[in-house]
């Protein structure tokens, strides 16, 4: 009896727990198929905060549907996620749930994410509670019941096509998403498959069932089947879509490359035009500076020669006057005058030559320095480094340009043998040696006249001798001037030729280099554009 009593007490104690567990098991069995709706938004902002991947199969092939965070508003913290998901996609669904057209900045965001690699199918999600469809006429057509539906759909298409391009918008439809969900969220027994935690969705489903005759009626009115067909067609044609998507990606990259090159080419050309004008100005300044210096140089040489003969003539006349009684003294005095005058002439000519060299050097240095400053002002190096990997640095080129007159100095000082000959009379002034001979010859002629030289005719003969000296010097001046002027012309012509072949030629070469870069851009742009044209010409679904 005692054992029976103990068993009865045990059953009494355990029975409530067992009954509770049985009820829980029955509830789990009953709700095992109620799994839908957990991912449906609740109205909370940023409900989806990560990429959620859903696997499904279609005609034996596996596909993924990726749910991404919304892009309206400030979605910067989700940007990397959205980009990663869209990079994998070949068809993107944009859901407009605002009952109004999307803002342009929203379309711009879509364009930014797409990078023109995938097509977009727009869905205008219409909202409506069950009482919106209470009467029969309210359940005839979705867009007729929702008065603004057609306008919202067309405006959505217009905005997207305006930003993305019509070729990337594959379609746009209205959808009553909640009604469509309510129409398919049933299991094979006809029971709701909505998760018990989503009482809001269960309530909506029950309300819709009161107005619509069947689950299929809810699907048809919501236009969910239209979307189902779009997805099915996309799955069936995915291989072609992948090829076309990849083709768009290739074309985008090629076009972006062309645009970048064209932009760099235009920037370089604008700089090249500016620097070309600066280089021309620099060349003009150098040439004008040379012409000014050449004119001064020629005048100084001519004046130095004139002074030499003028002073020599005056001094020679005085020497005849002073030493007329002694031929040797006259000859010695005139020789000394010629040597002294010639040394002074050589110094003046050398000074003029040095001034010419220094003047040209300074003029070129100033012109090149200004050119360098202008090059820095337009930021030449930076523009070319952006334009091409084999950029040209004008600054470096300018550093390499140094007009060195060391090899010209010999030329300047060797004209007429001035530097090497010690300014020999016959070389510096052709025929000057004949002046002394003429004076001495006149003096000997006077001696041959006999005693008249000693008595009474002395002043007359001195004057005659002086006149002969003047005439001889004047003739030598005239005879030497042509050769002297030719030497001057030869000298400045050689200097000009060297300037043209060195400094000015190097500046011209800089302009050629800039033109070569422009030509290189044009060649690359043309070749990439030709490749883009070939890809565009490929038949649909091939690449």
- Map tokens 């029955």 to a residue: 26
User: Is the backbone of residue 175 left (phi > 0), alpha (psi -120 to 50) or beta?
Assistant: beta
Q: Are residues 98 and 221 in the same domain?
A: yes
Among the three residues 185, 204, 236, which one is the final residue of a domain in this structure? 236
Q: Are residues 207 and 296 in the same domain?
A: no
Looking at per-residue pLDDT, the higher value among 18 and 52 belongs to 52
Q: Are residues 212 and 271 in the same domain?
A: no
Q: Are residues 41 and 88 in the same domain?
A: yes
DSSP state letters, 348-386: HHHHHHHHHHHHHHHHHHHHHHHHHHHHHHTTHHHHHHH
226 part of a folded domain: yes
494 part of a folded domain: yes
pTM over 0.75: no
- Domain of 409 in residue numbering reads as 257-536
197 part of a folded domain: yes
The overall average pLDDT reported for the chain is 75
Enter the tokens of residue 312.
């020599």
Within 13 Å of residue 501, how many CA atoms lie on the same side as its CB?
8
Please compute the mean of the pLDDT values over residues 266-290 and round it to a whole number.
Answer: 87
Please compute the mean of the pLDDT values over residues 307-332 and round it to a whole number.
Answer: 81
The burial of 469, by beta-carbon neighbours within 10 Å (0-12 exposed, 13-18 middle, 19 or more buried), is given as: buried
Q: Are residues 217 and 271 in the same domain?
A: no
Query: Which phi and psi angles does 88 have, rounded to 5°?
Result: -90, -15
Q: Are residues 330 and 478 in the same domain?
A: yes
Q: Are residues 357 and 458 in the same domain?
A: yes
pLDDT tens-digit map of 396-455: 333 322 223 232 222 222 222 222 222 222 233 333 333 333 333 433 333 333 323 333
Q: Are residues 227 and 88 in the same domain?
A: yes
87 part of a folded domain: yes
251 part of a folded domain: no
pLDDT tens-digit map of 102-148: 888 878 877 777 765 678 899 999 988 888 898 889 888 999 999 88
pLDDT score, position 34 = 61
Q: Are residues 319 and 186 in the same domain?
A: no
124 bridge partner residues? 96, 174
pLDDT tens-digit map of 337-382: 888 888 888 888 888 888 888 888 888 888 888 888 877 776 655 5
Q: How many domains does the chain have?
A: 2
22 part of a folded domain: no
Q: Read off the CATH number of the domain in which 43 is found.
A: 3.40.50
pLDDT score, position 378 = 65
Residue 46 confidence (pLDDT) above 80: no
pLDDT score, position 457 = 61
pLDDT tens-digit map of 461-492: 788 878 887 888 888 888 888 888 888 888 88
pLDDT score, position 441 = 40
244 part of a folded domain: no
Residue 33 confidence (pLDDT) above 60: no
pLDDT score, position 212 = 92
Comparing 91-105, 245-259, 384-398, the range with the smallest average pLDDT is: 384-398
Enter the tokens of residue 223.
């236009």
Q: Rounded to a whole number, what is the distance in angstroms from the first to the last CA of the chain?
A: 92
Helices (H), 167-236: 177-184, 199-211, 215-222, 224-236
Coil vs helix vs strand at 18: helix
Q: Are residues 201 and 262 in the same domain?
A: no
Among the three residues 203, 236, 269, which one is the final residue of a domain in this structure? 236
Q: Are residues 218 and 273 in the same domain?
A: no
Q: At what angle do helices 505-536 and 238-323 cross, to 10 degrees?
A: 170
Q: Are residues 216 and 266 in the same domain?
A: no
Distances from the Cα of 507 to the Cα of 219, 363, 402, angstroms: 78, 15, 11
6 part of a folded domain: no
Among the three residues 236, 265, 297, which one is the final residue of a domain in this structure? 236
């Amino acid at each position: 009896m005692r054992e029976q009593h103990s068993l009865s007490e045990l059953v009494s104690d355990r029975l409530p727990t067992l009954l509770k567990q049985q009820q829980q098991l029955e509830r789990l069995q009953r709700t095992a198929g109620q799994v839908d709706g957990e991912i449906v938004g609740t109205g909370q902002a940023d409900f989806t905060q990560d990429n959620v991947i859903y696997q499904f199969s279609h005609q034996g092939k596996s596909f993924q549907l990726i749910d991404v965070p919304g892009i309206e508003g400030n979605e910067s913290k989700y940007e990397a996620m959205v980009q990663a998901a869209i990079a994998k996609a070949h068809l993107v669904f944009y859901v407009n749930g605002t009952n109004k057209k999307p803002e342009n900045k929203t379309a711009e965001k879509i364009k930014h994410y797409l990078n023109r690699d995938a097509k977009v199918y727009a869905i205008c999600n219409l909202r409506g509670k069950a009482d919106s469809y209470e009467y029969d006429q309210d359940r005839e057509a979705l867009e007729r019941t929702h008065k603004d539906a057609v306008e919202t759909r067309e405006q959505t298409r217009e905005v997207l096509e305006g930003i993305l391009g019509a070729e990337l918008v594959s379609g746009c439809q209205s959808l009553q998403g909640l009604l469509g969900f309510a129409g398919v969220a049933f299991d094979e027994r006809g029971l709701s498959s909505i998760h018990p935690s989503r009482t809001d969705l269960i309530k909506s489903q029950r309300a819709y069932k009161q107005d619509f005759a069947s689950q299929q009626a809810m699907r048809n009115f919501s236009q969910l089947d239209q979307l189902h067909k779009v997805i099915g067609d996309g799955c069936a044609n995915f291989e072609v879509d992948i090829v076309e998507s990849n083709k768009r990606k290739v074309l985008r990259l090629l076009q972006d490359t062309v645009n970048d090159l064209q932009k760099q080419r235009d920037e370089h050309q604008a700089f090249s035009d500016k620097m070309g004008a600066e280089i021309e100005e620099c060349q003009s300044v150098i040439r004008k500076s040379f012409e000014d210096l050449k004119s001064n140089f020629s005048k100084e040489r001519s004046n130095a020669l004139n002074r030499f003969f003028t002073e020599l003539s005056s001094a020679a006349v005085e020497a005849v006057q002073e030493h007329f009684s002694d031929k040797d003294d006259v000859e010695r005095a005139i020789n000394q005058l010629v040597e002294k005058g010639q040394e002074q002439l050589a110094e003046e000519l050398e000074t003029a030559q040095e001034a010419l060299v220094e003047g040209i050097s300074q003029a070129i240095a100033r012109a090149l320095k200004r050119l360098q400053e202008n090059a820095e002002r337009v930021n030449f190096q930076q523009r070319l480094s952006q334009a091409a990997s084999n950029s040209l640095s004008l600054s470096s080129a300018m550093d390499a340009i140094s007009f060195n007159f060391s090899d010209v100095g010999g030329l300047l000082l060797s004209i007429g043998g001035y530097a090497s000959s010690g300014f020999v009379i016959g070389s510096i002034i052709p025929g000057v040696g004949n002046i002394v001979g003429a004076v001495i010859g006149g003096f000997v002629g006077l001696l041959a006249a006999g005693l008249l030289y000693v008595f009474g005719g002395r002043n007359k003969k001195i004057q005659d001798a002086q006149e002969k000296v003047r005439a001889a010097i004047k003739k030598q001046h005239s005879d030497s001037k042509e050769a002297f002027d030719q030497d001057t012309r030869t000298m400045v012509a050689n200097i000009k030729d060297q300037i043209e072949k060195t400094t000015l030629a190097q500046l011209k070469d800089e302009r050629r280099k800039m033109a070569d870069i422009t030509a290189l851009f044009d060649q690359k742009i043309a070749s990439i554009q030709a490749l883009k044209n070939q890809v565009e010409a490929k038949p649909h679904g091939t690449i």
